Amino acid sequence: MPSNAPMLLQSEYNYQYKIVPQKHSAQGFKNQQTFQECGKVLGGSSTTNWMIYNRGNRRTFDNWSLKYGVKSWSYDEVLPYFLMSENNTEKYGMKIHYKKIETFLSQ
């Protein structure tokens, strides 16, 4: 529930990771370090970040694909799934036909 998110920040339900000291940002923070929220609860970080949706960085997916040898995790391969979820307006899930698979994207 988004309204509860502020209570979870920097609490026992959060890993409270700190980013490395920054040179050109975070100047209002001690040691120029901010927190990277990461939830220790069912739902993970979406519980502590007000359920904000982020697509993810192209380089992150491409690096996973190269590092672990899994072509299906490249950004170009996962992008269609991101696009489908971003356009999902169905109340109980959107039936999709992708790569010869018929399934519900969300429920």
Query: In 10 A of CB 102, how many CB atoms?
Result: 8
Q: Render pLDDT for 50-103 as a digit per residue (tens, 0 to 9).
A: 766 677 788 988 998 999 999 898 999 988 888 777 766 665 555 555 555 555
pLDDT at 2: 63
**Lowest pLDDT segment from 5-14, 24-33, 49-58, 76-85:** 49-58
pLDDT at 107: 42
More confident residue, 37 or 61: 61
Query: Is 21 a residue whose pLDDT tops 90?
Result: yes
With CA atoms as reference, report the closest residue to 24 among 9, 35, 34. 34
More confident residue, 36 or 68: 68
Query: In 10 A of CB 47, how many CB atoms?
Result: 20
50 and 2 Cβ atoms separated by less than 8 Å:
yes
Query: Is 27 a residue whose pLDDT tops 50?
Result: yes
9 and 3 Cβ atoms separated by less than 8 Å:
no
> What does the alpha-carbon distance between residue 63 and residue 65 come to, in Å, rounded to a whole number?
5
For residue 28, what are the β-bridge partners?
none
pTM (2 d.p.): 0.44
3-state secondary structure of 26: coil
